[in-house]
Structure 1
C-alpha cells in the first residue's frame, strides 16, 4: 500500500521550465517502454504512433481568470476564477485580509463590479454585472502556474494555450497538448493517426499537493468534463481495429476514464473527482502523452498507476540526471499502461 511519502522526490529548481521553447514541438520526449527508458525528441511521436491509433485531446481553453481589485472598504483583493457557473456567475478563490461577506461588492481590474454571494467551501460565488466570458477576456490576466516566477505576457497568452483549444473554462492548461503545433498534427494526420476530443476544464486544484500521508483520506478536487458521442465512436473504432487509444495529457485520460466507470465508455457530461492511484485498472486509455508532474501530486500518482511505480521512479531519476525540463512548460513523456481492464468501449 502506497502512502504520500512514496511520491516525493527532490527536483533541482533549475529543472523547472520557466518559459516555453521558441517552437512547440522542439521539446524532448522521454519514451518509457516497459523498463526501457529512451531519450527522444517530441517530433518522434510521428514514428511512435501507427495509422489507426487515436489521439484524444482536451480542447479546453484557459481563461484570463486572475483579477486584482479592491473591496468597497478599500482593502486589496486578488480573485482567481475557478469555474464559470453561468454567463453571470462564477466560483472563485478570493484572497483578502478579511474574507468578504455575502452582499459585499468588489471592483476588479478597475473596470467592473462583482457582488459576493454565498461561500462554497474554499470558494466564493461571485455575480458579474455583464457577460462573464466577455469581462474575463477583456480585463483578466492569464493565471500561470504558481511555480512560474514571471507575470504572464503576450507570448504566454499565445503559448499557454493548445493550438486546438476552443471551449473556454479552464484556469490551467492541459499542458501535454502544448507540444503539438499545426505542422506536427498535419504529419500525424497524413500518417493515418486519428483525432478525437474531450473537454475537461482544468481547475486550480491540479497544482495542489496531497497533504495527508494516507492517500485514502485525500479529498480530490472536482472538475467538469464532457465526452462527445463522436469520441465514443472513434474509441470504439480504434479498439475494434486493435489500435491504441492515446490520451494527450492526464486531463484527457481523467475524462475518458471517468466516463468509463461502468465498464464501457459512454458519452455525456459530469463532474469528476476520480482519484487514480496504483492499483487502478484502466478501462479505455492504453497510452498516455504527459509532462512531468509535481512531487506529492495526484498526477504523479496517476502516471505511477498507469506505467508502474518503479518505472516512473526510474524515469524521473533519469529525466533529472539528463536535464529534462519539468512541469507545464517542460518536456514530455510517452507511456504505455501496465494495468488495463478488458472492457468494451
Structure 2
C-alpha cells in the first residue's frame, strides 16, 4: 500500500473501503479498466455502510441501483452524491461487462469521485471536526500530449452523455418523490442539510456530567461519553427521533444489564469504542444495545444502573 496515498483517511473508519480505494489508485495508470471495477466495488461498499448507518437494511436483496434510488428517495443522499454513486456504478458496469478499452480519463475521474464520497461519509457519519486531506492524483510518468488530448476529447463527450442520462434519472426520481404520500416520507433530514440535524447535547449533556459521564467525542450521528476510565463505560447518545443511548455489548451480554428489557443490537460505525460484530466469518460494523428514554430523569436512571453494574463487576 502507498504510504502517501490520499485515501488513508478512509482507513480510520473502514479498512475494507480503504483497501478498495487503494486498489483503484494502484491500478489507475496501468489498468484503468480494472481500476473502474474496483471503484464500482467501493460504491457498493459505501452504499451498504450508509444503509447500515440509517438502519435501512432490508430482509431481501436489492440491486445497487435500487439501493442508490432508495437512499435518494428517502433524502439520505443529495443530488451531488447520487450523481457520484451513479457515475462509478455505470462506468464500473461498463468495465466489467463490455469488452471495450476504458478511457483513462474516466478512471481518473472515478479516482476523484471515490475520494469525494469518502470525504462526504467522514463528514456526515464519522466526525463533524473531520478535516479532509488535499486531493491529488498519484504520480505518473510524463505521457504523450497528443494522446492525452485525444483521451480528454473522447472523455468529455462520453461524460456529457452520461451526465445527461443521470440528470434524466434524477428528474424521474424527483417526480416520483412528489407523488409519494406524505406518510411514506422518512422523517429524515438530508446530509446536505447536516447543520440542521444534531445530537441533542443541549438537552442531555448536563445529566451525563451530573453522574460523571465525561464527554469525549462528537460525530454527526452520536455523542460519546465515558464513565471514569472504564473501558466498557462508554455510552453513545444518538440523534434518533426518540432520545436513545447505546451501551457496550458487554453490559448486556455478560453483565445482564436491563435483562428485563428486550432490545436488539444496533450496528453503527459511530460506536467507535464498541467491538465489531462477526457475521459470515467477517467483522462488520461496531455494535451496541440501544435504550430509549423521554426525560432527563429517565436518562439519569439508566446511567446510574450502568454505573452500578460497572462498579459491582469491577471492570476497568
From the CA coordinates, give the structure whose radius of gyration is larger: 2
Band of TM-score, shorter chain: under 0.3
Which has the larger share of strand? 1
TM-score using structure 2 length: 0.26
Q: Higher relative contact order by CA 8 Å / sep ≥ 6: 1 or 2?
A: 1
